[in-house]
Structure 1
Amino acid sequence: MGLREDLERFREVGEDRRQDLESFIRYGDLSNSDADNIEIPIKVVDLPEFEYDQLDRGGVGQGQGDTPDVGQPVGQPEPGEADGDGDEDGDEEGEPGDGSDDHGYYEMDPEEFATELDEALGLDLEPKGKEVVEEIEGDFTDVTRTGPNSTLDFERLFKQGLKRKLAMDFDESFVREAMRVADQTPESVYRWCREQNVLVSFSWIEAEWKDIPDDERGRWADFEELEANVEHTPVGQRIRRNGLKEIPLRKDDERYRQPEIEETRQKNVVVVNIRDVSGSMRETKRELVERTFTPLDWYLTGTYDNAEFVYIAHDAEAWEVEREDFFGIRSGGGTRISSAYELAKEILEDEYPWSEWNRYVFAAGDSENAANDTTQNVVPLMESIPANQHAYVETQPGGTAINATHAEEVDRALGDDGNVVVVSVTGPEDVTGAIESILSTDSETN
């Protein structure tokens, strides 16, 4: 078996034995992974192997007398004998962790993670392409009124002329005979021709009227006698018999073929992660935020062509931070959530125009906020920031506090807007449900 087969077999074993994805998101160690490489623990299976007999005590199954019976204790190794830690004198103990780890890691990129999460949670997110990155000339299917002669659509021009010929042509000899009906005028002949669907113009009849000799004007007593004695040849039959001498082409019929422009749009996404770092956000709450936001980041990275992230921490004020610092920051100040949305709006308007970027604004905290800040400031700011999805994740492990009303107020004001979702995470068991609610709501609005 070659190296490639070994690798494929390893991945098959990893897929079969790695930790369940939902369990990993809820309870697994997310710290071993980064934005491009997600490591999910797998249980390593020890394979049978041969061991070298360092003391040369004989072959397989061979004893030296006084062999203990099955189940009889064999005692501790004597000094100088090899012990289980690999040193022969037995004087030093093995260091913790010397033995092989009982876990390995199944490496998964964000694209595979997004596919797995789609299957696990039944998601159906269709990312939108916004920024035009390339314009490709396709087939010559578009037409314009101007263009180089080499692109003139002559086939279309000919068809338009032929349609006009068929519409305007008529049996001239038949109409001239109609002028020989007794007691008729140019006007009466014209009316009768139109009734018979003979598409002749009045000006043509007037021009031809004077060429009919007077002694021939009573050749037919009426139009019925004319029809009984003179055959009217339809235009199609006459063209088939005599052919076409000319096609009336007009400048207005000219069209020039142009290639259809096919736009390639890149699926760009910017994710703004907002976290309350005030004194009330203790370690357990911070961990729930990380456990919710991190899989969302992985999923959107794997779903879009290009993903960028903005991390905003806030207490009563807000500031942009690096991802490495985002989940660990804690301050002692109060809370004014609107400060984070003010900064988010400024960054999005300056760097990520809505016409070119999909936007997600995720905020998390324990729902505590300064008095009236939610209704007077946060809700209007959320309404003024165009986004695929706004989400607020309330983290209250011990249940909602009396003064923790932010989530409820946002939900009451914006819960019916279609692109706003409020979820509650009281423990790790709620995380995947919160992620599903956030992403499935976005699937419905796409």
Structure 2
Amino acid sequence: MGLREDLERFREVGDERRPDLAEFIREGDLSGSSRDRVRIPVKLVDLPSFEYSQRDMGGVGQGQGGTPQPGQPVDVPGDPGDADGDGDEDGDPGEDGGEHGYYEMDPEEFAQELDEELGLDLQPKGKRVVEEVEGDYTELTRAGPNSTLDFEQLFKRGLKRKLATDFDENYVREACRVAGADVRDVFEFCRADNVLVSLAWIREAYAELEEEGVDLDEYADFDEFAERVARETVTARIRRDGLQDVPFRREDERYRQPEVVEKRQKNVVVVNIRDVSGSMRKTKRELVERTFTPLDWYLTGKYDEAAFRYVAHDAEAWEVERGEFFGIRSGGGTRISSAYALAAEILEEYPWSEWNRYVFAAGDSENSSNDTVENVVPMMREIPANLHAYVETQPGGNTINATHAEEVERELADRGNVVVARVAGAEDVPDAIRKILSTEADR
């Protein structure tokens, strides 16, 4: 391998390489990002280069101290093992961290890559009508300016009428030659045979035949006539003789109008709920942040407009800013229904007819006695939302009274918009996110 190929390979290895999103979500530093900018740290690798030494190294091709004997160590300035050189000082290898830069992406790119990473396919629906515009001229009306008259529709309607009302004149004239049949008899026979001829036309035909002296007793009855004479279809006559005329009527006129197209904006409001009671220690709080933060980024990238509201609760609930949401810790008890009551009030500001809604709650599944079944579950049924998700964080395994997640699963098993995800450690976070978002995508 030549020097150029070696350098190109080194460049490839040394390019800014960022971890895949699943690894970043599990282990990366999420704090350096904002809602509008996701920053993923990447290790930078310096490319090698040749430099001229500034020292006086002697003549070209000359060694130092004479020619070394075979097996004799060569003293190279700058060698770490050279006591006289300028090599590295003593120290444990690998103590210094590598230099890091950042790969930045907007939430839309993050959402696209997370879709690929986790195999998701969430296609948000627009709800709020923001504009009505004229689309293609596909609507038809009975009135309009002449410039919008649809000649194709006019011709089709006229042709349809001709095909429906035209008849084989020779066939009817022959039917007038049935012995003993009068005008009324011929008319009733033709109508029974789906020949749309008028009584007046048959009367005129009879008169013409009598004038011409044609034998009117050619057929003994209509049965013999039907056996001997075949009726020619309209289609066959048009193919043979061509189309001479098409009867147009005013009622056949149709005018094209532009279709009114509603442009809908894809809006979403996300209510994030977190248990901040005394049992939610640091590790649990970090798992909530590691799960909720990528969800916020993802939904920001998927929707045209995204609003986020944050609710903290112990026995009571209150709204907080995002900056303090993940760090709050209280010494109080836990009553999850207080958070859902506040969430319902918040969502009144975002009409269900105009906004997509997500309610994400997280905690360690501890709740006051009977609060889940008697209060939380009925509220989750009553609050219209694309998705209700509960994230259980229990790093050390469930305690005896940590039953909220289990009760939600059992009581709301009939609901397609409710999902429970369990996160015991950072390694579970990508799967939890996949489970939450795939539930919405499946619906």
The CA distance in 1 between the partners of 2:161 and 2:248, in whole Å, is: 9
Contact 1:11 1:106 in 2 (8 A): no
- Give 3-state SS (helix, strand or coil) of 1:32's partner: coil
Equivalent pair of 2:14/2:44 in contact (CA under 8 Å): no
Aligned pair partner of 1:126 in 117, 123, 128: 123
For residue 101 of structure 2, what is the aligned residue in structure 1? 104
Map of 2:363 onto structure 1: 365
Partner of 2:56: 58
Is the partner of 2:15 in helix, strand or coil? helix
Question: Please, which of 376, 390, 393 is the counterpart of residue 388 of structure 2?
Answer: 390
What is the CA-CA distance between 1:19 and the residue it aligns to? 2.5
2:420 maps to 422
* 1:278-326 deviation per Cα after TM superposition (whole angstroms, max 9, x unaligned): 2221211111100110111112222223222111111222222111111
Q: Deviations over 1:109-128 (max 9, x none)?
A: 22222222222222222222
CA distance in 1, matches of 2:134, 2:259: 6
Structure 2 CA distance for partners of 1:65 and 1:218, relative to 1, 3 Å: closer
Residue in 2 that maps onto 1:441: 439
Query: Separation in 1 of the partners of 2:229 and 2:237?
Result: 15
Deviation by residue 1:400-428 (Cα, 9 ceiling, x = unmatched): 11111111111111134221111111111
**1:200 alignment counterpart:** 197
C-alpha distance in structure 1 between counterparts of 2:244 and 2:85, whole Å: 118
Residue number among 77, 83, 98 corresponding to 1:74 in the alignment: 83
Name the structure 2 match of 1:191: 188
Amino-acid identity (%): 65
Superposed, 1:35-434 pairs within 5 Å as 35-48=35-48, 57-59=55-57, 69=75, 73-74=82-83, 102-170=99-167, 175=172, 178-179=175-176, 181-194=178-191, 197-202=194-199, 204-205=201-202, 219-222=216-219, 247-350=246-349, 352-434=350-432
C-alpha spacing 1:171/1:424, structure 2 compared with 1 (3 Å): closer
Distance change in 2, residues 1:308/1:227 (3 Å): closer
Who is 1:19 aligned against?
A: 19
Contact 1:123 1:439 in 2 (8 A): yes
Tell me how far apart the structure 2 counterparts of residues 426 and 245 of structure 1 sit (CA, whole Å): 83
- Per-residue CA deviations over 1:335-358 (Å, capped at 9, x if unaligned) read 2211111121222222x2222222
Q: Paired residue for 2:8?
A: none
Q: Which amino acid aligns with 1:249?
A: F
Q: Rate the CA distance shift 1:52–1:312 in 2: closer, same or farther, 3 A.
A: farther
Distance 1:112 1:233 in 2: 68
Q: Which amino acid aligns with 1:356?
A: E
Contact kept, 8 Å, 1:180 with 1:216, in 2: the verdict is no
Rounded to whole Å, the distance in 2 between the matches of 1:119 and 1:222 is 82
Sort the Cα spacing of 1:217 and 1:110 in 2 relative to 1 into closer, same or farther, 3 A: same
Provide the rounded CA distance (Å) in 1 between the counterparts of 2:177 and 2:46: 113
Q: State how far apart, in whole Å, the 1-side matches of 2:393 and 2:243 are.
A: 84
Which 10-residue stretch deviates more, 296-305 or 144-153? Answer: 144-153
In the superposition, the TM-score normalised over structure 2's length comes to 0.80
Q: Which moved more, 1:112-121 or 1:233-242?
A: 233-242
Question: Could you say if the C-alpha distance between residues 253 and 288 of structure 1 is closer, same or farther in structure 2, counting changes exceeding 3 Å?
Answer: same
Alignment partners' CA distance in 2, 1:404 and 1:231: 88
C-alpha RMSD over aligned residues = 3.8
> How far is 1:142 from its partner?
2.3
Distance in 2 of aligned mates of 1:400 and 1:317: 23
TM-score norm. by structure 1 comes to: 0.79
* Structure 2: distance between partners of 1:374 and 1:270: 24
How far is the alpha carbon of 1:143 from its aligned partner?
1.3
Give the secondary-structure state (helix, strand or coil) at the position aligned to 1:188: helix
Change (3 A) 1:302 1:203: same
Letter matched to residue 120 of structure 1: E
Q: CA deviation at 1:35?
A: 1.2
1:3 is matched with which residue? Answer: none
SS in 1 for 2:157: helix
- 1:60 positional shift: 8.4
| Unaligned ranges ≥5, structure 1 | 1-8, 85-98
Equivalent residue of 1:30, what SS? coil
Flag the 1:60–1:190 CA change in 2: closer, same or farther, 3 A: farther
Deviations 1:49-78 (A, max 9, x none): 57797xx6424899997998367542698x
Q: Distance in 2 between matches of 1:152 and 1:357?
A: 41
Residue identity in the other structure for 1:411 = E
- Letter paired with 2:139: D
**1:196-226: CA deviation from partner (whole Å, max 9, x where unpaired):** 5532123544677688869969642536798
2: CA distance, partners of 1:11 / 1:109: 25
CA distance, structure 2, for counterparts of residue 226 and residue 424 of structure 1:
86
Contact 2:187 2:202 in 1 (8 A): yes
Q: Which runs of 5+ in 2 are unaligned?
A: 1-10, 67-72, 90-95
- Distance in 2 separating the partners of 1:241 and 1:21: 72
